Structure 1
Amino acid sequence: MARFPGGLQDAPGSSTHVPNASKPKVRPPRGWRDQVVFPGRSLPTYTGPYSVGTAEIEVPAQHPRHFSHIKREGRHVLQLETVLMTLYYPTSHQDRNLSQPDTKLSRELWLGRPRGKIAGGYARFVGLPEWVGLGMFLPAMYTKLPAYRNAPLASHWAPPMNTKTSAKGAWVKTEQGTRPEGASEEPSFPLILFSHGLGGMRTMYSSVCGEFASYGFVVVAIEHRDGSGPRTYINHRKSGHSTMTDMEKDGNLDHRPEEGKKGYDIIDYIFPKDNPFDTSPHNDKGVDHELRDAQTELRLAELEEAYMVMQEIHAGHGDQVSDRNLRRAGYKASSSHGLKGLDWSKWHRRFHLDHTTACGHSFGAATVVEMLRQKSRFPYIGQGIIYDIWGAGASAHGKEDSVSRIQAPLLAINSEAFTYWPSNFEFVSGLAHEAQAEPHPSPAWLLTLRGTVHVSQSDFSLLYRNVCSLFLKMVADPQRALDLNINASLEFLAHVLPAELAQVSRAYQNEGLLESETAPLDRVPSSQMHRPSDKFIAMRLKIRHEWLYRLSPQLFAKLDRKKARREGRKAQSDDEIWLHVKPTKEAVERHLQANEGRSNNKKAKFEGALPMTGNAEEDGEPAEEQKVTIEPRPVQDQAFG
């Protein structure tokens, strides 16, 4: 028997694809843009019972400052000037009907403005001339998010069914559900903060964020300006407070003369000096922790700033946020729509500020871990979801004492490609055990999605599925991979959120993914693995007899399902996932009991995957949630780590 990473040896000639994979959820097209192949590619419609709205916000930072001494061309490259985000949120069925879209409401571009320049930034990120980006992203330049810009926040309780479980399909989004017993007339939605990975942007994970919103969450997707994205534009006010001159004075920031003339900054991907490939598993120089730790600190500050913006909106001051918004007509990379049409009064206390979920992918997942480890700094973070964490990018600061350890529920979802990276798998396994350790144990899960690669948790696999299949050897259906990520995440939140927060998400399809039998990696048969040669570890998978598989992957899967039905064989728990770590039911219940009463909103009964604790209070207005005031952290002009 071989140990990791080979697994148990099996007979040759076994299946090369993911066996018995379930079909993806129903995602009917919404119009001609979502049906034609050219000139634009489309993203699938979200499957939850809510339609989804988006809002694009960029506001000056309340505490502008720079991070570390790192400079390029005489300028600090890591500066906090503004915070940019896209809000994904449930919108009202009464105003939006999927079969008759309101042409007055636009849809946000996936690639962002200016599209040609953003595409050039991506080409530069992968080491190609910028002009190549135009060809790479030409189809995606016409792609728009399947969500309504500046639509009203939903005021109804959605029915407890999604587009797959409902016979009505997408029409479920036009239905109103019954209010749960003891709940308020209008739902109050849980909050999620989302952090993107290297090469990402705030819309790169629109499918994940939009899916969460369609099931009743308000998602704040940050666009980090730390040099981890391909290209981003930072606007400055043209008059009043927070102009470029004010930023230089108040935050000790610096700008080049041409930036002052244009009124905006351009931040491209920052390659570590003399070590541009520090992300590679085979890089002899290792990770540039001076840069990465400083980027993490900037990311944390941006997340704090975004949370403060949400505090304003929660308090009923969304109009003040709108007045400061720099993503409007007359500003770079902006739409003329701005935040027009949003009724901010409808947002007053309509989402929860406590028990916020921190969620991220790759470097964003490493950022989430830092948030979970700094409980005193982020007291409003209740749990974390990490997709394919880049463990080497996590802060070099230690976790030896109990104060700096993870003390919150954790869900870690790996792609199969990243699971074969030994040091990275050891790191993420350590995180799960860190969360479960005494003296403050929290439930934690770790699972692998079979047949997936690193980009399977982003929109890239949905827009460029042939690239992912031919070059990255992804064998899982990208939409089914998205379903598994979301279903596992919603199941996790149903387990760990207080009852009055969890009751909003009643429509997800509970596949019992987190209740599967555990599969230690060294006990997984090698026939189930798609482990590549060492030089491709973490980058792609391997498909045995690929020429035969390429004849028709869909046909292979269809024949396999028919054979299973003919033999009366049901799908097994390890057909699509490997569950490596899970807590006991008692551990989850202890967590809920320990957090009983900590939420300041009234309780409501909820029948979830596990018993939820909490008592219903008297009818009336919910108590005011505690406002968390964030103080600026001391900044030292020195390297981190």
Structure 2
Amino acid sequence: MFQFTSTSLPEYEGPLRVGSVVIETSVPEELRCQLPSIEHEMKTVKLRMFYPLLPNKDVRRRKDELWLPFNEGVPQIAKGFKWWMIRACASWFSKTSLPVYDGDIYQDSSRNVYSSLCGNISSYGIVVLALEHRDQTAIISTVRDPADPDDKGYLLQYHEIKDFYSDSTVALHKDRFFFREREIQLAMKMIRSINEHGVPSLDTAYSCSADPKLYTRLFESLKGRLNTTKGEILLSGHSFGAATCAYITNSSTPSLNHNYLHREEYKCAILYDIWMFPVRQLNIQKIRYPTLMIISYEFHRWTDNYEALKTWLLDRESESQIGQESAADKLDIVSNEKTSHVFVLNGTVHANQSDLPILLPSMVLKILKGKVKADPYEAVKINTRSSVQFLRENGIKIQGENDPDCLRSEVIPGWEKII
């Protein structure tokens, strides 16, 4: 028997309250893509937008969407002995609501799994877009085209890789990276439309999880208040999402208006537990921006992945050359003088970058081989503090006090700079 120690996510750490809304937009015909390794055409883009609220406004909880997407269906991957508990818990977690509020504004996951991290960062005055990728890496996703009122939608299931070293897997990774980059471009098109026009799109249909009166006021209140300038956008990802960020920084894909390359949109990057296998498999080059990398203790001890990360970052083509370089020279992630960091928090596992250790019972985590030793609340707090301070040090104007200690090694117990 096990106990559920939490039925809701903790309050956010920053000085501002946070609201969120799920937005699904139709993709224009000329921007849709159908790739050989992905089983469906890109018809819509779906994301959860976290936004900061005015601190002096009265707020109330909404329950228009729940944390676990099992109300959309049970994933096919949820089978076999170690998954039976996930099925058993589905009805319980369908009752767990996100800390979502109404108010005027101030790889096997879903759009909600990183709610604590995204919401915490938003509570410092940043609008965060958490995409639900439709490249069949989400545990489950429902596609409903807002352009068709009669569309009942269809389910996309997680596609498991059987042979990581096959040519088909290389092709799959290439297609997924391209697919994801297009989704991110369309999300940026949406947020720019909100900033310029006060609506997610002028030429395509969209739907939202909130009451129309709410999201109409929300989008109008965001109009003209977002910094969507080229070279000022922040890029972040976890695991395969972090590898996607590395891909985008080296991509030659043009922006949707074709005036410049898509990779020129970004100011800096934050990567959590980057999965190095597809990075090395596709020979992706080093990241071009100031970068913060947070590695879980589990990934630090995963020798193959960590050695691949060091080789990638330090560019170990000759040991003699490495011996002549300083530690600062070795960390040549970026082509400018901005500082980059790689940190690890002792006792953490891959799931600590998400909400899972907070909401899932410890027995379930053990069955899924996620033996968490670090306090999951502290892990999210340190991830947030360091991420926010990194943005602050890279010129992002955000709320809260300067917090330089969180980017120093071993000032926080167990928090160590490793490269």
TM-score in terms of structure 2 length: 0.83
In 1, the alpha carbon distance for the partners of 2:199 and 2:51 equals 15
Structure number with greater CO (CA < 8 Å, separation at least 6) is 1
Distance 1:514 1:152, change over 3 A: same
In 2, the alpha carbon distance for the partners of 1:448 and 1:511 equals 17
- Matched to 2:155, the amino acid is I
Quick one: which of 157, 163, 167 aligns to 1:268? 157
Quick one: which of 87, 93, 107 aligns to 2:49? 87
Q: Tell me by how many angstroms 1:512 deviates.
A: 1.2
Q: Contact 1:447–1:578 at 8 Å: present in 2 too?
A: yes
Q: Contact 2:190–2:201 at 8 Å: present in 1 too?
A: no
1:348 correspondence with 2:223: yes
- Matched to 1:453, the amino acid is V
- Matched to 2:126, the amino acid is F
Q: Tell me by how many angstroms 1:426 deviates.
A: 2.3
1:102 correspondence with 2:11: no
1:393 correspondence with 2:272: no
Give 1:305's aligned residue. 186
Distance 1:319 1:515, change over 3 A: closer
- Matched to 1:458, the amino acid is S
Distance 1:270 1:357, change over 3 A: same
Q: Contact 1:199–1:228 at 8 Å: present in 2 too?
A: yes
Q: Contact 2:8–2:359 at 8 Å: present in 1 too?
A: yes
Q: Contact 2:251–2:263 at 8 Å: present in 1 too?
A: yes
Deviates more, 1:86-95 or 1:130-139: 130-139
Q: Contact 1:90–1:215 at 8 Å: present in 2 too?
A: yes
- Matched to 1:364, the amino acid is G
Q: Tell me by how many angstroms 1:505 deviates.
A: 2.8
Give 2:100's aligned residue. 147
Post-superposition Cα deviations, 1:510-543, rounded to whole Å, max 9, x if no partner, equal 2613222xxxxxxxxxxxxxxxxxxxxxxxxxxx
1:576 correspondence with 2:411: no
In 1, the alpha carbon distance for the partners of 2:5 and 2:417 equals 41
Q: Tell me by how many angstroms 1:69 deviates.
A: 2.0
Q: Which consecutive residues of structure 1, in runs of 5 or more, have no partner in the other structure?
A: 1-36, 71-75, 155-197, 244-260, 279-283, 328-333, 517-571, 582-641
1:125 correspondence with 2:77: yes
Q: Tell me by how many angstroms 1:484 deviates.
A: 1.1
In 1, the alpha carbon distance for the partners of 2:32 and 2:220 equals 32
Q: Tell me by how many angstroms 1:89 deviates.
A: 0.9
Tell me, what secondary structure is at the counterpart of 1:368? helix
Identity %: 24
Pairs within 5 Å for 1:528-547: none
Give 1:215's aligned residue. 124
Post-superposition Cα deviations, 1:402-442, rounded to whole Å, max 9, x if no partner, equal xx642210111100011112221123334544672685454
Quick one: which of 371, 385, 400 aligns to 2:248? 371
Q: Contact 1:215–1:507 at 8 Å: present in 2 too?
A: no
Quick one: which of 366, 370, 374 aligns to 1:476? 374
In 1, the alpha carbon distance for the partners of 2:12 and 2:372 equals 22
1:384 correspondence with 2:341: no
In 1, the alpha carbon distance for the partners of 2:226 and 2:192 equals 10
Tell me, what secondary structure is at the counterpart of 1:476? coil
Tell me, what secondary structure is at the counterpart of 2:418? strand
Q: Contact 1:109–1:142 at 8 Å: present in 2 too?
A: yes
Q: How many pairs were matched up?
A: 388
Q: Contact 1:208–1:458 at 8 Å: present in 2 too?
A: yes
Post-superposition Cα deviations, 1:115-161, rounded to whole Å, max 9, x if no partner, equal 3444x11xx32543998644133322111111215x3211xxxxxxx
TM-score in terms of structure 1 length: 0.55
Q: Contact 1:363–1:394 at 8 Å: present in 2 too?
A: no
Give 1:362's aligned residue. 239
Q: Tell me by how many angstroms 1:360 deviates.
A: 0.7
Q: Contact 1:55–1:339 at 8 Å: present in 2 too?
A: no
Tell me, what secondary structure is at the counterpart of 1:56? strand
Q: Tell me by how many angstroms 1:479 deviates.
A: 0.4
Give 1:59's aligned residue. 25
Tell me, what secondary structure is at the counterpart of 1:209? helix
In 2, the alpha carbon distance for the partners of 1:322 and 1:108 equals 26
Q: Contact 1:40–1:141 at 8 Å: present in 2 too?
A: no
Q: Contact 1:357–1:381 at 8 Å: present in 2 too?
A: yes
Pairs within 5 Å for 1:295-334: 295-318=176-199, 320=201, 324-327=205-208
Q: Tell me by how many angstroms 1:298 deviates.
A: 0.4
Quick one: which of 426, 447, 453 aligns to 2:343? 447
1:293 correspondence with 2:174: yes
Give 2:303's aligned residue. 422
Q: Contact 1:67–1:294 at 8 Å: present in 2 too?
A: no
- Matched to 1:309, the amino acid is M
Give 2:400's aligned residue. 506
Q: Tell me by how many angstroms 1:574 deviates.
A: 7.2
Bigger radius of gyration among the two: 1
Tell me, what secondary structure is at the counterpart of 1:291? helix
- Matched to 2:93, the amino acid is A
Tell me, what secondary structure is at the counterpart of 2:32? strand
In 2, the alpha carbon distance for the partners of 1:390 and 1:300 equals 17
In 2, the alpha carbon distance for the partners of 1:132 and 1:312 equals 43
In 2, the alpha carbon distance for the partners of 1:338 and 1:271 equals 40
In 2, the alpha carbon distance for the partners of 1:302 and 1:199 equals 17
Q: Tell me by how many angstroms 1:348 deviates.
A: 1.5
- Matched to 1:576, the amino acid is G
In 1, the alpha carbon distance for the partners of 2:147 and 2:381 equals 44
Give 2:319's aligned residue. none
- Matched to 1:505, the amino acid is Q
Q: Contact 1:204–1:459 at 8 Å: present in 2 too?
A: yes
Q: Tell me by how many angstroms 1:573 deviates.
A: 3.5
Q: Which consecutive residues of structure 2, in runs of 5 or more, have no partner in the other structure?
A: 253-260, 316-330
Tell me, what secondary structure is at the counterpart of 1:436? coil
Give 1:165's aligned residue. none
Distance 1:285 1:54, change over 3 A: same
Q: Tell me by how many angstroms 1:102 deviates.
A: 3.2
Q: Tell me by how many angstroms 1:325 deviates.
A: 1.8
In 2, the alpha carbon distance for the partners of 1:267 and 1:313 equals 28
Q: Contact 1:205–1:457 at 8 Å: present in 2 too?
A: yes
Distance 1:65 1:319, change over 3 A: closer
